[in-house]
Amino acid sequence: MAGERIEYLDQMRAVAIVMVVCIHAVGYVPAMSPLQLDWVLFWVLPIAVPVFFFVDGFLLSMQLDVKPVAYGPYIRKSAVRLLIPWVLFSIFYTVARYVLEVAGFLSAHLVLGQEPQQVAARVYMSVYAPQMYFLLSLFLIRAALPLVRLLFHDASLLLSIAATIALIVFYNTVNVEALLPFHSLLAMEGQEPVLHAIFGLQFFALGMVMSRLRTQTDFRRWVLPVAILFVASSVMKVTLPGNHWWTAFFYLILFFVLFSEFSRESRLLRIVGQNTMGIYLLHTPIVLRFISMVVALVIAEPMAAFLVTVLGVMVVSLALSLLVTRVPYGGMLFGIPRSVRA
């Protein structure tokens, strides 16, 4: 199983990266009606990023089923895959922001004239490129390999399920932000990686547990009951006040079950799914800003502009990703070791 790609996981990632682009595109197109915006965010916001945490946990559990995972090599590989792209693209987007501010294209000066510590804090909080936090968050989860392996793989299945549920309930009912020793950073705009690592760990653990369950149950039998739970919780979410955080988990489980049991081969989804890292790193802010400006010249209707912008960003980001990975050593920008295709 090592190195072998799993079709339905690639398809899940392909759909999830479109959801991520949708989330970021909302802020670059003419304002949609409240109903349109709520409808878009209802479908894309709850699971867009969680899918990637889930799939990573799922794959780790499968890998552990085959052979032990040594901590040193695993962390070194994770550093290449996640930290190197974080450093390179954080520098790139910060420099790009500086150049655009100097040239007068951006009125808000978030780099120009700022103290070095302010710039560093904004880099850490992914202010210049809102997607970058995910790489640090996933690395922190991977760095906790001994703990996640003990709780969610080596323990009995029942205990792992209980630990996963406890983690989910804890995160969603306790003010986790107040527990962080550096919670003052959270007053800044952006995304704090440690907090999002704790957030992502819920879905990472769920992925590990679902991987173990795949040999214990027939997921086809899950479709109807999980769909009913998702619909019921969704109705509660839109009609009753409150957080209703459990809706996202029913949605994610249903999403996984449908793809794992009913997906069909799709060359397009395979290509997109195999290049999600490149698309993720490239799609915003520069590509998204450029595409949205072009679309705004010809389309004024908000929903149409949104859909065309998302399509354009996906096409351009995928094309750039494929181009970069075909250049010698280009894949290393996306954390892909030489001679290994994304």
Per-residue pLDDT in tens (0 to 9) along the chain, 342 residues: 445 689 999 999 999 999 999 999 999 999 999 999 999 999 999 999 999 999 999 999 999 999 999 999 999 999 999 999 999 999 999 999 999 999 999 999 999 999 999 999 999 999 999 999 999 999 999 999 999 999 999 999 999 999 999 999 999 999 998 888 766 666 678 999 999 999 999 999 999 999 999 999 999 999 999 999 999 999 999 999 888 999 999 999 999 999 999 999 999 999 999 999 999 999 999 999 999 999 999 999 999 999 999 999 999 999 999 999 999 989 999 998 764 443
Whether residue 3 lies inside any domain: the answer is no
Whether residue 97 lies inside any domain: the answer is yes
- Residue 338 belongs to what domain range? 12-45+264-342
Q: Are residues 21 and 139 in the same domain?
A: no
Whether residue 120 lies inside any domain: the answer is yes
Q: Shortest CA distance to 93 belongs to which of 45, 128, 137?
A: 128
Instruction: Report the C-alpha gap between 246 and 104 in whole angstroms.
Output: 45
Q: Are residues 178 and 293 in the same domain?
A: no
- The burial of 227, by beta-carbon neighbours within 10 Å (0-12 exposed, 13-18 middle, 19 or more buried), is given as middle
Q: Are residues 100 and 178 in the same domain?
A: yes
Q: Are residues 36 and 66 in the same domain?
A: no
Q: Are residues 79 and 182 in the same domain?
A: yes
> Which residues, including other chains, have CB under 8 Å from residue 278's CB and lie 6 or more apart?
317, 318, 320, 321, 322, 324, 325, 334, 342
Number of domain units in the chain: 2
Whether residue 7 lies inside any domain: the answer is no
Whether residue 24 lies inside any domain: the answer is yes
The reported pTM is 0.95
Q: Are residues 211 and 273 in the same domain?
A: no
CB 19 within 8 A of CB 44: yes
Q: Are residues 35 and 133 in the same domain?
A: no
Whether residue 242 lies inside any domain: the answer is no
